[in-house]
Amino acid sequence: MSFVQYKVQDPVHQLANVLCTTKIKPMITQCCMVALYNRQKNCAPDEKAHFDQTIALAKQWERRKCNHREPLEPSVCIEQVVGPANQHRYMLAADDPVLRRSLRRVVPGLPLLHYSQSVLILEPMSDLTDRHIGHMEANKSAIPASERKLLEKVSQQQDNPAETAPEQAMPVKRKKPKAPNPLSVKKPKTLKSTPNISERSSLDAAKAKKPQVTEAHTLQQVTRRRKKRGRGDSHAGGN
């Protein structure tokens, strides 16, 4: 309604100057639009032109669907659309000081704007928003719950070193064996791996054959020696 009261020509341009950005999407709720039409109907004849201008401007803006079947008072409608936490990140430009004051007290993070004479003013941050930002910053810098538990566990272990002794002994035990890892050591060439069953059977057969040969060989030698000895004995006996 400030646009009518102060004959503001281009509020979006003023808003762009205040916020130092051109990325502005002006919105108006359905109930606010109905209120504008009602004011136009009941206005004085000299105000009608201004209302026509204002409605033409508001029609260019995005119509925020508040889904109020029966149009509510603009202040009530806006309060509901903004909600308790301003989850859609609106900025509110409202002429109603009562509405601005009440939302300032209960909705954190809701920038408020209003016209003073024909100048658009961005209100200073509310105490509620300031506290809310502080709370958010504290949460951001806070340690996550999982890490906090880990830190508590470590501090408990430091307080009771006896409990931690067995856990700390584990890595020391692992370090003890000084022999190199057998898998990393190159096998000596002389050592052969244990033969498998087929190899072992052939080896056994070879071993079984060998003694037969040697035994036969030694038997021959023994008989020869005995013969020699027998001859010698007979000679000796004969002498």
Site string for Zn ion, 58-77 (x = CB under 5 A): --------x-x--------x
The structure tokens listed for 162 are 């006896």
Q: Return d(Cα 34, Cα 58) in angstroms, integer.
A: 11
> What phi and psi values does residue 72 have, to the nearest 5 degrees?
-95, 170
Site string for Zn ion, 77-116 (x = CB under 5 A): x---------------------------------------
Q: Which is nearer to Zn ion, 73 or 215 (CB)?
A: 73
Closest CA to 94 of 113, 121, 79: 113
**Residue 192 host element (H or E):** none
Q: Is 31 in the site for Zn ion (CB under 5 A)?
A: yes
Burial of 36 from C-beta contacts in 10 A (0-12 / 13-18 / 19+): buried
Contact present, 66 and 80 (Cβ < 8 Å):
yes
Q: Which is nearer to Zn ion, 28 or 110 (CB)?
A: 28
The least CB distance from residue 110 to Zn ion, in Å, is 17
67: left (phi over 0), alpha (psi -120 to 50) or beta: left
The least CB distance from residue 30 to Zn ion, in Å, is 5
Q: Which is nearer to Zn ion, 88 or 200 (CB)?
A: 88
Q: Which is nearer to Zn ion, 64 or 100 (CB)?
A: 64
Q: Return d(Cα 109, Cα 131) in angstroms, integer.
A: 10
Q: Which is nearer to Zn ion, 29 or 54 (CB)?
A: 29
The least CB distance from residue 95 to Zn ion, in Å, is 17
Q: How many residues bind to Zn ion according to rule CB under 5 A? A: 5
The least CB distance from residue 11 to Zn ion, in Å, is 20
Q: Which stretch binds Zn ion (CB under 5 A): 31-39, 115-123, 174-182, 212-220?
A: 31-39
What is the Rg, in whole angstroms, of the alpha carbon atoms belonging to the chain? 52
**Residue 119 host element (H or E):** strand 119-122
**Helical H segments across 87-196, by residue range:** 97-106, 127-141, 145-159, 161-175
The least CB distance from residue 17 to Zn ion, in Å, is 29
Q: Return d(Cα 121, Cα 79) in angstroms, integer.
A: 20
Q: Which is nearer to Zn ion, 39 or 132 (CB)?
A: 39
The least CB distance from residue 75 to Zn ion, in Å, is 10
Q: Which is nearer to Zn ion, 32 or 120 (CB)?
A: 32
Q: Which stretch binds Zn ion (CB under 5 A): 29-37, 124-132, 153-161, 175-183?
A: 29-37
Binding positions for Zn ion, rule: CB under 5 A = 29, 31, 66, 68, 77
